């Protein structure tokens, strides 16, 4: 059970509540009890965290994580994924349903939740499938999924190609108020493609995936959203055209949110280099002007959240011909460092960076947390903004190693993670209590 | 030891040294030299190509090497063995070089990262076909002496052509101007940023060319509706007798073969006085001997 914790003299950045300054934060019974400008007395039996020189932040929330359980436990499990999450400063993750028994029923949702309870590290919010078996043919039972604990529905990894079915999914989901999260890819335009269509693909002789494969679907779904109502969340936005459409839709008051991954904002298609499968993902890394547009969209609020699309894969999935390489990279343990690169580069303010990792995602999916006002969950991430470190994949808690960022220098590091007032990560160690 | 994964990245002096070396191996020179005596060259062909495989085979034999021929038909790759497993097994037999043809772009790059012998790309997907470009450049040098300031027009399915990419790097490094011409659906984006000029108007550029290289139309890809019909392609982009007449005096006609006769190239042009197509083929062995020498030395 969690006790009482006092975070002393840290810089609290809490964008939702307009706080940015040195504060004491008292967490009691798993919730934030007090946030104070003046030093607070240490309650009897309280653990004290001397946070001077550190940032005390609302725990990070990742809307897009693949935990691979059930079915691909060799790549990741709910437990190892939760370890990676807390090591990366995340106190909550949304688990994608494209596991090797698809989460399209309450039974699978309950299994994931029971594994999460057993892991007892961070909050795990399952997302259920939009369609049965992710086949894009019939709606899965959204009601059952939501009552079992799903916070969103998505066929992530695949688009819903049928416009008629997508229209019904949006309509039907209004019954439950959950967001419909979409992976935007017109498969007829992306067919055979291995990377972004552009000079690098041409140089490498790889079939390109044009930006229109994403933008056309974003346009379609915004049109459907306008007609049906409901909530649309666009996963891993990757290109300028999508950003423009989302910005305009928001201006007109449509209920749309969007996320971007750190890798799409840090790297462009040139990262493929000479066929590096660690730079292979869907959507693909795009052109530099797309990266520029995404950065603007993160800064101006068009994109609501940074989400990692943490996608664990084995070595053999990546040590193959580029065209055969499986899409995706892991992201939980590199997210903060990469986001801070944007701060150091003048793209984001510190406050906006924190918002994109906490309040932004909480608000998009209506999740608890994401801020530190009294009564909020005692989910806290402590960051040393000045610590310089090097990304080393063999130190990751994730069961997989697929990242293009091995060896990258970072400034700013998660030093402690607290979930519901309990210390789950500190001094480079995950603290298990199962 | 060095790899030949593509022409991209090779400097002009390195290419010229290799092409100079190839002259030693022209007919009239020694039948067999002993540069690779007692050594083994492995031919690792995941995709059928009798021409290229035979040419490399003859080149290796001509240097005194033994040749290990491996092709994927009916072999372990169809049983789930990975490319790297296969390459490592071949490497274990101790070759000085692996000559490799594969349908995936970048496959030789993957192998090169995991083996110690030289890897020579004999064509990877739609990426590069460096030995073809070198023999094309060798053929042009034979005719012209130097490529400096010459214009080479490459016509056809640029999108799927590994020959086109290798020739772009090779010809440009040797001082030529390269113009690509084909229907917009078969021109990949961003060619200009790689240093090529691009057009879909064959008749406008034809008179500028010192050599016209017609590419084989990959009929197996026509199912993907890149073109309405071969007939229309032939009308718009085929090098026929009427077009040949508008070429510069002395301008050359090339083709990497095999030709779809009457489609990309009229028979009268393919067999006509401008054609250097058979010289390309016979230069192939000499150039590949030089490649094997340079990569294994
Ligand atoms: Zn995903």
Confidence of residue A296 (pLDDT cuts 50, 70, 90): very high
Query: What single DSSP character describes residue B159?
Result: T
Instruction: Pull the structure tokens for residue A43.
Output: 């309650």
On whether the CB atoms of residues A341 and A391 are closer than 8 A, the answer is: no
Q: What is the pLDDT of residue A277?
A: 97
Active site residue A221: no
Instruction: Pull the structure tokens for residue A259.
Output: 């996320």
pLDDT in tens, A263-283: 999 999 999 999 999 999 999
On whether the CB atoms of residues A281 and A328 are closer than 8 A, the answer is: yes
On whether the CB atoms of residues A348 and A301 are closer than 8 A, the answer is: no
CA B251 remoteness from chain centre: 20
Q: Out of A186, A304, A309, A379, pick the active-site residue.
A: A309
CA of A236 to the centre of ligand 1 (A): 8
User: What is the enclosing helix (H) or strand (E) of A23?
Assistant: strand A19-28
Q: Across chain B, what does the average pLDDT equal?
A: 94
Q: Cβ–Cβ of A320/B83 closer than 8 Å?
A: yes
Beta bridge partners of A27: A5, A32
Q: Across chain A, what does the average pLDDT equal?
A: 97
Per-residue pLDDT for B75 more than 60? no
pLDDT in tens, A312-333: 999 999 999 999 999 999 999 9
Report CA-CA distances (Å) from B70 to B108, B115, B130: 15, 17, 20
Task: Work out how many CB contacts closer than 8 A connect A with B.
Answer: 72
Q: What is the pLDDT of residue B48?
A: 85
CA angle B187, A158, A230 (to 5 degrees): 115
Q: Cβ–Cβ of A205/B109 closer than 8 Å?
A: no
Give chain B positions within 8 Å (CB) of A211: none
pLDDT in tens, A129-186: 999 999 999 999 999 999 999 999 999 999 999 999 999 999 999 999 999 999 999 9
Nearest to B106 by CA among A8, A280, A155: A280
Cα dihedral across residues A418, A424, A430, A431: positive or negative: positive
Q: How far is A393 from chain B (nearest CA, A)?
A: 20
Q: How far is A212 from chain B (nearest CA, A)?
A: 14
User: What is the enclosing helix (H) or strand (E) of B114?
Assistant: none
Nearest to B252 by CA among B234, B223, B276: B276
């Amino acid at each position: 059970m969690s006790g009482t914790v006092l975070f002393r003299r840290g810089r609290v950045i809490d964008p939702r509540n307009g706080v940015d300054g040195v504060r004491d934060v008292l967490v009691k019974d798993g919730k934030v009890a007090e946030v104070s400008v003046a030093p607070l007395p240490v309650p009897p039996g309280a653990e004290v965290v001397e946070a001077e020189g550190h940032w005390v932040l609302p725990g990070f929330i990742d809307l897009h994580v693949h935990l691979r359980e059930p079915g691909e436990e060799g790549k990741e499990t709910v437990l190892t994924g939760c370890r990676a999450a807390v090591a990366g400063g995340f106190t909550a993750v949304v688990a994608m349903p494209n596991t090797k028994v698809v989460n399209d029923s309450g039974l699978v949702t309950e299994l994931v939740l029971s594994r999460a309870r057993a892991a007892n590290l961070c909050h795990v919010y399952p997302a259920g499938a939009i369609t049965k078996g992710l086949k894009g043919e019939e709606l899965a039972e959204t009601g059952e999924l939501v009552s079992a604990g799903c916070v969103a529905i998505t066929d992530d990894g695949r688009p819903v190609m049928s416009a008629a079915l997508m229209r019904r999914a949006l309509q039907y989901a209004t019954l439950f108020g959950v967001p419909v999260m979409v992976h935007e890819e017109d498969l007829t335009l992306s067919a055979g493609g291995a990377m972004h269509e552009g000079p690098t693909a041409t140089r490498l002789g790889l079939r390109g995936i044009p930006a229109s494969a994403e933008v056309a679907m974003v346009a379609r779904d915004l049109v459907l959203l306008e007609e049906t109502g409901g909530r649309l969340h666009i996963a891993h936005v990757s290109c300028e055209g999508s950003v423009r459409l989302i910005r305009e839709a928001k201006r007109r008051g449509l209920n749309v949110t969007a996320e971007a991954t750190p890798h799409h904002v840090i790297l462009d298609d040139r990262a493929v280099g000479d066929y590096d499968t660690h730079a292979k993902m869907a959507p693909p890394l795009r052109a530099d002007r797309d990266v520029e547009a995404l950065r603007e969209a993160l800064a101006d609020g068009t994109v609501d959240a940074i989400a990692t699309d943490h996608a664990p894969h084995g070595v053999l999935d990546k040590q193959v011909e580029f065209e055969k390489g499986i899409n995706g990279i892991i992201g939980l343990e590199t997210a903060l460092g990469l986001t801070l690169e944007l701060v150091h580069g003048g793209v984001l303010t510190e406050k906006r960076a924190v918002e994109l990792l906490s309040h932004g995602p909480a608000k998009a999916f209506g999740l608890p947390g994401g801020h530190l006002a009294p009564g909020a969950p005692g989910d806290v991430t402590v960051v040393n903004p000045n610590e310089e470190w090097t990304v080393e994949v063999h130190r990751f808690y994730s069961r997989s190693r697929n990242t293009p960022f091995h060896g990258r220098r970072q400034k700013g590091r998660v030093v402690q993670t607290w979930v519901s007032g309990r210390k789950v990560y500190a001094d480079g160690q995950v603290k298990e209590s199962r | 030891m060095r790899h030949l994964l593509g022409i991209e990245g090779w400097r002009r002096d390195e290419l010229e040294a290799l092409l100079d070396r190839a002259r030693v191996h022209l007919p009239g020179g020694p039948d067999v030299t002993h540069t690779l005596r007692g050594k083994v060259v492995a031919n690792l062909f995941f995709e059928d190509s009798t021409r290229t495989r035979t040419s490399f085979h003859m080149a290796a034999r001509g240097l005194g090497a033994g040749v290990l021929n491996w092709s994927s038909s009916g072999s372990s790759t169809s049983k789930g063995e990975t490319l790297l497993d296969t390459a490592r097994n071949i490497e274990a037999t101790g070759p000085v070089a692996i000559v490799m043809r594969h349908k995936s772009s970048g496959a030789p790059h993957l192998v090169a990262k995991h083996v110690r012998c030289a890897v020579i790309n004999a064509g990877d997907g739609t990426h590069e076909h460096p030995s073809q470009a070198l023999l094309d450049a060798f053929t042009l040098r034979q005719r012209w002496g130097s490529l400096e300031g010459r214009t080479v027009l490459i016509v056809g399915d640029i999108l799927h052509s590994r020959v086109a990419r290798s020739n772009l790097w090779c010809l440009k490094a040797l001082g030529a101007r390269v113009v690509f011409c084909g229907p917009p659906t078969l021109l990949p984006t961003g060619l200009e940023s790689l240093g090529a000029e691009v057009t879909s108007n064959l008749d406008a550029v034809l008179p500028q060319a010192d050599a016209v290289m017609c590419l084989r139309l990959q009929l197996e890809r026509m199912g993907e509706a890149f073109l309405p019909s071969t007939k229309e392609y032939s009308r718009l982009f085929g090098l026929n007798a009427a077009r040949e007449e508008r070429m510069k005096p002395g301008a050359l006609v090339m083709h990497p073969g095999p030709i779809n006769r009457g489609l990309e190239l009229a028979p009268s042009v393919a067999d006509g006085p401008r054609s250097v197509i058979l010289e390309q083929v016979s230069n192939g062995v000499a150039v590949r001997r030089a490649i094997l020498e340079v990569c294994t030395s």
